[in-house]
């Protein structure tokens, strides 16, 4: 196991939190995205702001930001990170009857913010589902993925 590329396992194959103490602090940025697809009438409720529970996208934005700050509590081996910025943007797509979510998370630290961005995108989309499930239980969350990460020893990575 000592040659394993999986950093969350020690030489005995046991799960552990990676020691980032010797890493250099750098500016870190990650962008993640996902989509929720729904019935046209559900999308109209979101667009028009007439959903029974209120401003769906506004609440989803707050949920995404809050989730990013709680990632270390949700993902067992993630380090708690002092985030410096989180932005969650939602775009209504009329042709696909969908809402696209993109989150940018930033920090200055010893480990990346990919999990924070991914968690935020996931929870933002789940919040849309929660707020609209009374009218559309068939909504589908898809394509949650990392778009880009910058900073640290591994440098810049961008999805194709």
Q: Among residues 130, 136, 142, 160, which one is catalytic?
A: 130
Q: What is the pLDDT of residues 45-93, one digit of tens each?
A: 999 987 777 899 999 999 999 999 999 999 988 999 999 999 999 999 9
3 as an active site residue: the answer is no
Q: Where are the beta strands (DSSP E) in the chain?
A: 26-37, 83-93, 98-109, 140-150, 157-158
Residue (of 54, 73, 64) closest to 131 by Cα position: 54
pLDDT digits (tens, 9 = 90+) for 122-159: 999 999 999 999 999 999 999 999 999 999 888 899 99
Contact yes or no for 88/128 (Cβ under 8 A): no
Q: Judge contact between 85 and 108, C-beta under 8 A.
A: no
Pairing relationship of beta strands 98-109 and 140-150 according to DSSP bridges: unpaired
How far, in Å, CA of 126 to CA of 119, rounded? 10
93-132 pLDDT per residue, tens: 999 999 999 999 999 999 889 999 999 999 999 999 999 9
Render pLDDT for 15-29 as a digit per residue (tens, 0 to 9). Answer: 767 767 667 889 999
């Amino acid at each position: 196991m000592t040659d394993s590329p999986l950093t969350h396992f020690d030489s005995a194959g046991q799960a552990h939190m990676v020691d980032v103490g010797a890493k250099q602090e750098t500016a870190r940025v990650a962008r993640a995205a996902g989509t929720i697809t729904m019935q046209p009438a559900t999308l109209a409720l979101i667009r028009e702001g007439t959903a029974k529970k209120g401003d769906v996208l506004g609440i989803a934005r707050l949920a995404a930001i809050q989730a990013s700050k709680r990632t270390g509590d949700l993902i067992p081996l993630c380090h708690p990170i002092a985030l410096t910025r989180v932005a969650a943007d939602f775009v209504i797509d009329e042709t696909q009857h969908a809402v696209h979510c993109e989150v940018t998370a930033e920090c200055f630290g010893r480990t990346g913010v990919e999990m924070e961005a991914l968690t935020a995108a996931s929870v933002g989309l789940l919040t849309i589902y929660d707020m609209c499930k009374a009218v559309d239980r068939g909504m589908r969350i898809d394509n949650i993925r990392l778009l880009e990460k910058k900073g640290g020893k591994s440098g810049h990575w961008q999805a194709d």
